[in-house]
């Protein structure tokens, strides 16, 4: 044993405490320090930032931080369930709650913070919780399950953690209410405009938001049912009957052990340190949320990691100092993007604001700039935060383009070349663009290698898109692996399936992949298998690969019901079919709506009702409209020359022909087509993946148009085509896209990657000599098409899937209800978790 070895005791084993141990052990090659870690919880360090992901899988191991048990390291003594209780500064001793006394040469306080619980009368009731540890979530789960589906839960506090807690209640099947004293949600991160958009987005997802009110009292009725045992009285004289309350009204630094020891603490709490994180006792340091660095506490993990690194440096003779903290945040709450960075609220003197508030898209973007409009000071993004990774490093730097262009969907796109080397890419670990470029120059040529040598992207992961851009700018060829289970790209897997005839995911992963698969590769392979065969997607093993929508051949809606969209090729429908649709809607109590794709959507069907509805529609000569799949949705048309005095060709007839030809065609993303009978473009063909516009001599073919967040106009592929040539070109284009596009890549970005000239050469000039093969593959699809609804109705095994409860097939889901008191029938949300899939079903 090294006689000169010293002992450092670490009080706290959270994320920051663990980072300190990692940093010290990785640098202490001489073994100068013996480390003793005191962890209050029975579990070693876990990802508290990702606490909400515990809901659903309930597996603590999934949140465990890598290396958190220090196995094989004799210089780390981890003691769980042993909280540091008292400090004797003069004797340099720490006493644990179990009575053990430990000597130290240096003491690092990483005690973190505790949730603030307002002194509301009744806050001590057993159904009242905080949202801080895995044990807290276990208690919330038990109470929610006792209350039953649809029970109301109240979250006091509408900040970041409050919304995460509300989402956890929602995922537990509860109806969550959020009480926020301020006039908007997340007041620390967003302004009034951003708060308004955020409130609308989360309300649409089932949260009931109460802003500008306080919680006055919590009364408990022991005799009441568990679902309504508490009554929460609000300051506006209203009350909520609920099963439980979760307090998320902010955090306070855990500094009591320092107070008791006589260390200096801040006026608003926190253990006061200098820039080297030393407290008023030079042998004691404080890191993370409990530290008040020169009087300021930082509640984010990124500055906490910085403090941990600095103390590790100091113990090994360095002179590191806290450089200040970037308090920027990027989050996805309930599936809603929220980001703020720099001076988000425009507190700098003379600051100007540029705002893009798009209520229709549900997005809000604000840039705060200097008084001369030359420098970016900060910003807020709600609903769409794709530009965060590019904008945040520019704070304090000259704007590379007009401010409005930087936040407009049709504006400038920032690349890595717009950033100087000193720009910070990873704020969690303080990694600059120059450091990443240096790592690339030293041979780090992919994301895992960059993470390994710089730690960029290893915390929240928000900087990974920009790291990819830096790699691309440096000329590094990016891996096209589909996921960790397949080294091949989607296009390569398509070729493997096509060449080998493999028809099962288990065979494909056994022969060409590894592991058991994931939610990336399973639906991707399912799509490939469907694109290369006419087998039903619920046949055998394929059924288990599908997402929710494809699994039930219907679009799941926000309250857990489904929508049914029968196909209407070209928008045509007979009077008899319209009558049947009306009768079905009336009999099953469905809400009906004409979609933007010229058909009728029937909303509100329970899962066990789907086959009954399909039977009525199929008997009337209708079939699945594939509104649920990554496949052809519709072929929209105007009335064309049949009725319109301006029409030059029969657009309806062509639309019907194309829709019947490509119905059921599975692809990397949904497909929409349109046929316009003249240049007046009533069918909006240039906004579709494939658009056909009539001329006086034939058809013009446009490709690569998309709606969505970044709308793209289709571009002309070929002009004045006869019917036969038009169809052959569309066959080739669609099949070439299906074979070569990436997972979930729409035609517009796929086409942009290849270049329209290259696509034109392949499709029209057959430059690759594959035109015949592409057309044959499409003809095989056409010949093998069979309606998916009808196939289920004919198969008892497939029909058995369509029940709300496997152990009670005849029972309907009691959590589903509707409000039809107004002009429109609307779903009453009971906090059901969001499901994969989606889309309007046009």
pLDDT the model gives residue 41 = 93
Alpha carbons 52 and 164: distance in angstroms, whole number:
6
Residue predicted with more confidence, 451 or 670 = 670
Average pLDDT over residues 169-187: 92
- Residues above pLDDT 70, as percent of the chain: 93
Q: 310: buried, middle or exposed (CB in 10 Å: 19+, 13-18, 0-12)?
A: buried
- Beta carbons of 189 and 160 less than 8 angstroms apart: yes
pLDDT the model gives residue 332 = 63
Top-confidence range, 153-157, 445-449, 749-753: 153-157
Block residue for tokens 């056994």: 510
User: Helix (H) and strand (E) counts for the chain?
Assistant: 26, 39
Whether pLDDT at 550 is above 70: yes
| Least confident among 324-338, 609-623, 666-680 | 324-338
- Beta carbons of 179 and 329 less than 8 angstroms apart: no
pLDDT the model gives residue 660 = 95
Helix, strand, coil percent values for the chain (each to nearest 5): 35, 25, 45
**CA quadruple 678, 643, 712, 699: dihedral sign:** negative
Query: How does residue 833 score in pLDDT terms, banded at 50, 70 and 90?
Result: very low
Block residue for tokens 């051949």: 553
Alpha carbons 787 and 663: distance in angstroms, whole number:
9
682 is in an annotated binding site: yes
Domain covering 415-476 in this structure, CATH number: 1.10.10.1100
Computed over every residue of the chain, the mean pLDDT equals: 88
Alpha carbons 167 and 163: distance in angstroms, whole number:
6
Whether pLDDT at 1 is above 50: no
Average pLDDT over residues 99-116: 96
Average pLDDT over residues 150-178: 91
Q: Which residues contact 169 (CB under 8 A, 6 or more apart)?
A: 140, 144, 153, 155, 175, 176, 246, 831
Average pLDDT over residues 643-651: 90
Residue predicted with more confidence, 632 or 823 = 632
pLDDT the model gives residue 453 = 85
Whether pLDDT at 613 is above 90: yes
Separation of CA 685 from chain center: 31
Whether pLDDT at 818 is above 90: no
Q: 498: buried, middle or exposed (CB in 10 Å: 19+, 13-18, 0-12)?
A: middle
Residue predicted with more confidence, 718 or 464 = 718
Alpha carbons 595 and 842: distance in angstroms, whole number:
6
In this predicted model, what pLDDT tens digit does every residue of 359-387 receive, in sequence order? 877 889 999 999 998 999 999 999 888 78
pLDDT the model gives residue 821 = 67
pLDDT the model gives residue 554 = 87
Alpha carbons 831 and 173: distance in angstroms, whole number:
5
Q: 622: buried, middle or exposed (CB in 10 Å: 19+, 13-18, 0-12)?
A: buried
| Least confident among 132-141, 449-458, 770-779 | 449-458
- Beta carbons of 109 and 11 less than 8 angstroms apart: yes
Whether pLDDT at 238 is above 60: yes
Alpha carbons 472 and 415: distance in angstroms, whole number:
10
* Best CA proximity match to 459, nearest among 421, 427, 433: 427
445 is in an annotated binding site: no
Block residue for tokens 């926020």: 180
* Domain residue spans of the chain: 6-114+252-315, 128-249, 326-414, 415-476, 490-513+521-551, 553-624+787-842, 631-786
644 is in an annotated binding site: yes
Could you list the beta-strand ranges (E) of 679-776: 690-694, 699-703, 715-721
Give all strands of the β-sheet with 671-676 in edge-to-edge order: 632-637, 671-676, 690-694, 699-703, 715-721
Strands 671-676 and 632-637: parallel
The two domains 6-114+252-315 and 415-476 share their CATH topology (first three levels equal): no
Whether pLDDT at 808 is above 90: no
Is the pTM of the predicted complex or chain greater than 0.85? no
pLDDT the model gives residue 836 = 39
DSSP string, 224-240: S-GGG-EEEEETTS-EE
Alpha carbons 484 and 514: distance in angstroms, whole number:
8
Q: How far apart are the first and last CA of the chain?
A: 72
Return the CATH number of 128-249, one of 3.50.50.60, 3.40.605.10, 3.40.1350.10, 3.30.390.50: 3.50.50.60
428 is in an annotated binding site: no
pLDDT the model gives residue 838 = 45
DSSP string, 99-129: S-EEE-SEEEE---EEE-----TTTTSTTEE
Whether pLDDT at 553 is above 90: no
pLDDT the model gives residue 61 = 85
Separation of CA 461 from chain center: 12
Whether pLDDT at 27 is above 80: yes
Query: How does residue 590 score in pLDDT terms, banded at 50, 70 and 90?
Result: very high
Domain covering 6-114+252-315 in this structure, CATH number: 3.50.50.60
- Beta carbons of 467 and 448 less than 8 angstroms apart: no
- Beta carbons of 674 and 570 less than 8 angstroms apart: no
In this predicted model, what pLDDT tens digit does every residue of 742-760 receive, in sequence order? 888 899 988 887 888 889 9
Query: How does residue 828 score in pLDDT terms, banded at 50, 70 and 90?
Result: low
Q: Which residues contact 45 (CB under 8 A, 6 or more apart)?
A: 13, 14, 15, 17, 18, 39, 64, 65, 68
CA atoms within 13 A on the CB side of 681: 12
Residue predicted with more confidence, 280 or 170 = 280
Per the DSSP assignment, residues forming a β-bridge with 39 are 80
Spell out the long-range contacts of 537-546 with Cβ–Cβ below 8 A and sequence spacing 24 or more: 537/629, 537/666, 537/788, 538/788, 538/792, 538/798, 538/801, 540/504, 541/504, 541/505, 541/506, 542/505, 543/801, 545/505
In this predicted model, what pLDDT tens digit does every residue of 452-503 receive, in sequence order? 888 887 766 667 777 877 887 787 766 678 888 898 888 899 989 988 989 8
pLDDT the model gives residue 391 = 87
pLDDT the model gives residue 460 = 60
Q: In sequence order, which ranges of 620-679 are alpha helices (DSSP H)?
A: 640-643, 651-662
pLDDT the model gives residue 546 = 76
* Best CA proximity match to 180, nearest among 202, 205, 163: 163
Token digits of residue 455 = 């730690």
Domain covering 553-624+787-842 in this structure, CATH number: 3.90.480
Strands 715-721 and 93-96: unpaired
Alpha carbons 424 and 395: distance in angstroms, whole number:
10
- Beta carbons of 538 and 546 less than 8 angstroms apart: yes
Return the CATH number of 631-786, one of 3.40.50.720, 3.40.50.10490, 3.30.420.40, 3.30.413.10: 3.30.413.10
DSSP assignment letter at 689: S
In this predicted model, what pLDDT tens digit does every residue of 79-105 receive, in sequence order? 999 999 999 999 999 999 999 999 999
pLDDT the model gives residue 45 = 95
pLDDT the model gives residue 287 = 98
**Domain 326-414 part of CATH 1.10.3720.10:** no
Token digits of residue 305 = 């990691």
* Best CA proximity match to 460, nearest among 289, 328, 287: 328
pLDDT the model gives residue 837 = 42
Block residue for tokens 């119905």: 663
Query: How does residue 354 score in pLDDT terms, banded at 50, 70 and 90?
Result: very high
What phi and psi values does residue 66 have, to the nearest 5 degrees? -60, 135
- Beta carbons of 631 and 664 less than 8 angstroms apart: yes
Token digits of residue 561 = 């019901």
């Amino acid at each position: 044993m090294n006689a000169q070895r010293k002992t450092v005791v670490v009080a706290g084993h959270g994320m920051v405490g663990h980072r300190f141990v990692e940093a010290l052990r990785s640098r202490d090659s001489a073994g100068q320090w013996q480390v003793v870690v005191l962890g209050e919880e029975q579990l070693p360090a876990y990802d508290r930032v990702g606490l909400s992901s515990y809901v659903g899988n309930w597996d603590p191991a999934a949140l465990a931080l890598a290396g958190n048990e220090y196995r094989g390291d004799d210089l780390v003594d981890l003691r769980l369930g042993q909280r540091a209780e008292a400090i004797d500064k003069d004797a340099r001793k720490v006493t644990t709650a179990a009575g053990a006394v430990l000597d130290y040469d240096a003491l690092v306080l990483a005690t973190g913070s505790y949730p603030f619980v307002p002194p509301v009368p009744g806050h001590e009731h057993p159904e009242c919780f905080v949202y801080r540890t895995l044990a807290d979530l276990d208690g919330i789960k038990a109470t929610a399950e006792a209350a039953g589906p649809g029970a109301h839960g109240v979250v006091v506090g509408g900040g970041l953690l409050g919304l995460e807690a509300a989402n956890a209640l929602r995922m537990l099947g509860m109806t969550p209410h959020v009480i926020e004293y301020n006039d908007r949600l997340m007041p620390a991160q967003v302004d009034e405009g951003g708060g308004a958009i955020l409130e609308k987005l989360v309300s649409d997802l089932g949260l009931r938001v109460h802003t500008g009110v306080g919680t006055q009292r919590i009364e408990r009725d022991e005799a009441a049912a568990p679902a309504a045992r508490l009554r929460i009285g609000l300051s506006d004289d209203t009350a909520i009957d609920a099963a439980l309350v979760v307090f998320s009204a902010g955090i306070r630094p855990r500094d009591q052990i320092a107070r008791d020891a006589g260390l200096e603490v801040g006026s608003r709490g926190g253990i006061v340190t200098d820039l080297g994180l030393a407290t008023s006792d030079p042998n004691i340091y404080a890191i993370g949320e409990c530290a008040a660095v020169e009087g300021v506490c930082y509640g984010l993990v990124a500055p906490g990691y910085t403090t941990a690194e600095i103390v590790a440096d100091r113990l090994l003779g360095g002179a590191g100092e806290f450089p200040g903290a970037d308090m920027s945040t990027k989050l996805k709450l309930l599936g809603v993007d929220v980001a703020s960075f720099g001076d988000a609220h425009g507190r700098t003197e003379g600051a100007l604001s540029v705002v893009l508030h798009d209520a229709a898209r549900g997005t809000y973007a604000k840039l705060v700039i200097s008084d001369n409009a030359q420098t970016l000071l900060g910003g807020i993004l709600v609903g769409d935060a794709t530009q965060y990774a590019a904008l945040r490093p520019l704070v304090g730097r000259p704007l590379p383009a007009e401010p409005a262009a930087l936040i407009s969907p049709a504006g400038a796109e920032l690349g890595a070349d717009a950033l100087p080397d000193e720009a910070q890419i990873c704020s969690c670990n303080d990694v600059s663009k120059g450091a990443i470029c240096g790592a690339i120059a030293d041979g780090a040529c992919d994301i895992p290698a960059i993470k390994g040598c710089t730690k960029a992207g290893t915390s929240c992961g928000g900087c990974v898109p920009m790291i990819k851009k830096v790699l691309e700018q440096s000329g590094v060829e990016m891996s096209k692996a589909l996921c960790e289970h397949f080294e091949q790209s989607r296009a390569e897997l398509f070729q493997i399936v096509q060449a080998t005839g493999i028809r099962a995911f288990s065979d494909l992963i056994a022969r060409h992949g590894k592991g058991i698969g994931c939610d990336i590769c399973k639906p991707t392979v399912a799509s490939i298998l469907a694109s290369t065969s006419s087998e039903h997607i619920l046949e055998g093993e394929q059924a288990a690969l599908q997402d929710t929508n494809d699994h039930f051949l219907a679009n799941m809606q926000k309250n857990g019901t489904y929508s049914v969209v029968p196909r209407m090729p070209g928008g045509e429908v007979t009077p008899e079919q319209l009558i049947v649709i009306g009768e079905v809607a009336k009999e099953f109590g469905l809400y009906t709506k004409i979609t933007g794709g010229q058909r009728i959507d029937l909303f509100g069907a329970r899962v066990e009702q789907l086959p009954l509805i399909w039977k009525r529609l199929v008997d009337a000569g209708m079939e699945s409209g594939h509104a649920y799949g990554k496949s052809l949705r519709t072929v929209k048309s105007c009335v064309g020359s049949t009725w319109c005095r301006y029409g030059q060709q029969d657009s309806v007839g062509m639309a019907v022909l194309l829709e019947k030809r490509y119905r059921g065609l599975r692809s990397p993303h949904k497909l929409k087509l349109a046929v316009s009978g003249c240049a007046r473009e009533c069918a909006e063909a240039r906004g579709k993946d494939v658009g056909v516009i009539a001329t006086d001599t034939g058809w013009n073919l446009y490709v690569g148009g998309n709606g969505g967040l970044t709308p793209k106009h289709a571009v002309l592929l070929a002009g004045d085509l006869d019917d036969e040539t038009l169809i052959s070109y569309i066959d080739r284009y669609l099949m070439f896209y299906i074979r070569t596009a990436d997972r979930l890549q729409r035609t517009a970005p796929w086409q942009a990657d290849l270049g329209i000239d290259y696509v034109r050469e392949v499709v029209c000039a057959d430059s690759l000599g594959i035109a015949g093969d592409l057309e044959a593959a499409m003809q095989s699809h056409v010949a093998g098409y069979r309606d998916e609804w009808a196939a289920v109705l004919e198969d008892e095994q497939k029909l058995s899937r369509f029940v709300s409860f496997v152990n009670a097939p005849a029972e309907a889901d009691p959590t589903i209800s509707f409000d039809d008191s107004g002009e429109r029938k609307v779903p009453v949300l009971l906090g059901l978790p969001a499901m994969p899939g989606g889309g309007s079903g046009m």
